[in-house]
């Protein structure tokens, strides 16, 4: 787990664009990153690639200490939950 948030953010973007299931474990891991921007982007990317995993991660993120992550979780749930 790289602690350099800017680098991880770029990697999350690349994983989201590739849309491959192989990205899911890394995105799940990024949902627990120390940087809240990374956690928020990982939630969004995960929900695009695997809506079930994204919904599960978003539900867990509703308890995140950072308001921005909680708001992203709500957005993911509103968009991807069925």
In order along its 82 residues, the chain shows pLDDT tens digits of 556 778 888 888 888 888 889 999 999 999 999 999 999 999 999 999 999 999 999 999 999 999 999 999 999 999 976 5
What pTM was estimated for this model as a whole?
Answer: 0.88
| pLDDT value of position 6 | 80
C-beta pairs of 17-25 under 8 Å, 24+ apart in sequence: 19/48, 19/49, 20/49, 21/49, 21/50, 23/49, 24/49, 24/50, 24/53
Q: How far apart are CA 8 and CA 77, in angstroms?
A: 23
């Amino acid at each position: 787990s790289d602690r350099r948030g800017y680098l991880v953010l770029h990697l999350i973007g690349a994983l989201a664009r590739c849309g491959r299931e192989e990205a899911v474990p890394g995105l799940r891991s990024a949902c627990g990153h120390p940087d809240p921007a990374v956690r928020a982007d990982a939630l969004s990317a995960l929900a695009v690639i695997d809506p079930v995993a994204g919904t599960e991660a978003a539900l867990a993120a509703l308890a995140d200490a950072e308001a921005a992550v909680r708001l992203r979780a709500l957005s993911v749930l509103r968009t991807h939950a069925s």
